[in-house]
């Protein structure tokens, strides 16, 4: 008889119901027909008496102090420069003349900008056809990967089964383990 008097939570409720205590614990959580809206909080209570911990939110970690955020931005900029500089240097070198390319000391920007290297490369036999073939292969393989991977990923994450969890862990472990140098060599 008591179970019939306690209102049941909606099956697919939002975070206000998910973080709220069960209806039999408190009656003020469930909205009544006369009330306008329940006064519930969507913030999860931490172990320290309901206060929000500093630097942690529901989505993940975030920098709490301005100095920490500044250091993170500086580290990000340094990583961008370290990884991006070789590609920029390669791009700028493609616009240099052959003499500027082998000049000592090397310069980052070309003294004389030219498109002769591109004209020479695209004028050779087979280069435009190989370029188009590479683009076609990349587009087709990307589309096939997306057509197969997106529904599979949705199914694995939507229907949380034991075999799905095993598959996710196996995929993660195989991505973390480096490839053996001897496995990459082709032997007849």
| pLDDT tens sequence across 121-156 | 988 999 999 999 999 999 999 999 999 999 988 988
pLDDT value, residue 3: 52
pLDDT value, residue 86: 94
The answer to whether the beta carbons of residues 113 and 93 sit under 8 Å apart is no
pLDDT value, residue 182: 65
| pLDDT tens sequence across 68-112 | 889 999 999 999 999 999 999 999 999 999 999 999 999 999 999
The three-state secondary structure class of 60 is strand
How many whole angstroms separate alpha carbon 186 and alpha carbon 40? 63
pLDDT value, residue 58: 52
Q: Look at residue 30 and tell me whether its pLDDT is greater than 90.
A: no
The arithmetic mean of pLDDT across residues 163-184, rounded, is 82
| DSSP H/E element including 186 | none
**Mean pLDDT for the chain?**
77
pLDDT value, residue 134: 97
The answer to whether the beta carbons of residues 95 and 120 sit under 8 Å apart is no
């Amino acid at each position: 008889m008591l179970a019939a008097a306690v209102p049941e939570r909606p099956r697919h409720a939002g975070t206000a119901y998910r973080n709220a205590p069960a209806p039999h614990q408190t009656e003020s959580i469930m909205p009544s027909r006369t009330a306008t809206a329940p006064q519930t909080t969507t913030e999860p209570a931490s172990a320290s008496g309901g206060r929000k911990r500093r630097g942690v939110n529901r989505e993940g970690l975030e920098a709490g102090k301005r100095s920490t955020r500044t250091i993170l931005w500086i580290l990000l900029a340094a990583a961008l420069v370290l990884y991006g500089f070789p590609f920029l240097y390669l791009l700028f070198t493609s616009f240099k003349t052959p003499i500027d390319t082998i000049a000592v000391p090397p310069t980052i920007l070309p003294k004389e900008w030219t498109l002769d290297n591109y004209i020479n490369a695209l004028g050779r036999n087979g280069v435009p056809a190989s370029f188009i073939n590479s683009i076609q292969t990349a587009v087709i393989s990307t589309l096939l990967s997306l057509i197969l991977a997106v529904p599979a990923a949705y199914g694995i994450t939507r229907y949380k089964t034991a075999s799905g969890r095993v598959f996710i862990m196996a995929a993660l472990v195989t991505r973390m383990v480096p490839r053996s140098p001897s496995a990459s060599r082709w032997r007849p």
